[in-house]
Amino acid sequence: MTASRTKQVVTRGGPGVGTVLGVVLVVLFAGAVGVGVYQSQRSAGEVRVPPGATASGVVVGADAAPVTLDVYLDFQCPACRTYEERSGATIDRLVAGGAARVVYHPVAYLNRFSSTQYSSRSAAASGCAAEAGVFPLFLRLLLAGQPAEGGDGLPDEALVALGEQAGAGPGFAACVAEDRYAGWAAGLTDEASRAGITSTPTVLADGREIDRTDAALRAAVGG
């Protein structure tokens, strides 16, 4: 009697072929939906990288250069302006002579010192300059015309004027207006933070932090 009841229970409670197929189809459908959602989220989250740049920054100089300098800067940072004034020409000479290449990382650490998130806007605009092939001169012009901390920062119209002064074409204005490389600039900032970069300017020579002086540059590069 016990065996018979057990068999009956198993027979009534076990899934039939139709039930199993139904479960399999549901699982497959859910999996397909999940993959589709993942792919759409992935596409929506893709960061647009400027032509002439990489996801890590803007490279200036020959890839074959023996030393790589990484320069982390914020266009709202007064110390970055000072460093460019003092050492920008030295970096340019080292790059022009093939002794080094530079990877510039425009970050947005100082948005709190602007009422219009100028650090982010100027970093994104530098992506437009990279696209236009005028990043080095645009960088110098941006720092030379750096607005005071605590204000509105330069308006988009001023950023466009500086880009045109650097030699950017007519597409530069549209790039700035649509904030085309805001995601790229945000990614650079996040990457720098994860790498332990806590202040700007920070200068690395082949991954090792160096002092912000001409002497340190020449010692690191050997020139």
Encoding tokens for residue 75? 């266009």
pLDDT of residue 91 exceeding 70, the answer is: yes
Q: Please report whether residue 200 resides in a domain.
A: yes
Q: Please report whether residue 52 resides in a domain.
A: no
Average of per-residue pLDDT across 106-110: 97
**Ranges 22-36, 49-63, 203-217: which has the least confidence:** 22-36
Q: 196 vs 19, which has greater pLDDT?
A: 196
Question: How high is the pLDDT of residue 139?
Answer: 98
Asked if residues 107 and 197 have their Cβ atoms less than 8 Å apart, the reply is yes
Question: How high is the pLDDT of residue 223?
Answer: 63
Question: How high is the pLDDT of residue 33?
Answer: 33
Q: Please report whether residue 114 resides in a domain.
A: yes
If asked whether residues 62 and 37 sit together in one domain, one would say no
Asked if residues 76 and 154 have their Cβ atoms less than 8 Å apart, the reply is no
If asked whether residues 68 and 160 sit together in one domain, one would say yes
If asked whether residues 91 and 194 sit together in one domain, one would say yes
Q: What is the pLDDT of residues 134-146, one digit of tens each?
A: 999 999 999 999 9
If asked whether residues 191 and 159 sit together in one domain, one would say yes
Q: Which one, of 41, 109, 100, 55, lies nearest residue 78 by Cα?
A: 109
Question: How high is the pLDDT of residue 45?
Answer: 57
Q: Please report whether residue 72 resides in a domain.
A: yes
For residue 196, count CB atoms less than 10 angstroms from its CB and return exposed for 0-12, middle for 13-18, buried for 19 or more: exposed
If asked whether residues 99 and 6 sit together in one domain, one would say no
Q: Please report whether residue 49 resides in a domain.
A: no
If asked whether residues 33 and 110 sit together in one domain, one would say no
Question: How high is the pLDDT of residue 222?
Answer: 83
As a residue count, the chain comes to: 223
Q: Please report whether residue 168 resides in a domain.
A: yes
Backbone angles phi, psi at 144, to 5 degrees: -65, -35
Percentage of the chain surpassing pLDDT 70? 79
Question: How high is the pLDDT of residue 46?
Answer: 80
If asked whether residues 153 and 194 sit together in one domain, one would say yes
Which CATH number covers residue 120?
3.40.30.10
Q: Which one, of 143, 138, 146, lies nearest residue 167 by Cα?
A: 138
Q: Please report whether residue 51 resides in a domain.
A: no
Q: Where are the beta strands (DSSP E) in the chain?
A: 58-60, 67-73, 100-106, 202-205, 208-210
Return all residues near 110 (Cβ < 8 A) that are at least 6 apart.
74, 76, 77, 118, 119, 149, 200
Average of per-residue pLDDT across 3-20: 39
Report the amino acid identity of residue 114.
S
If asked whether residues 23 and 67 sit together in one domain, one would say no
State the residue range of the domain holding 13: 2-44
On average, the pLDDT of the chain sits at 84
Q: Please report whether residue 211 resides in a domain.
A: yes
If asked whether residues 170 and 66 sit together in one domain, one would say yes
If asked whether residues 121 and 191 sit together in one domain, one would say yes
Number of domains present in the structure of the chain: 2
**Ranges 36-40, 153-157, 189-193, 217-221: which has the least confidence:** 36-40
Q: In what order do the strands lie in the sheet with 58-60?
A: 58-60, 100-106, 67-73, 202-205, 208-210
If asked whether residues 26 and 71 sit together in one domain, one would say no
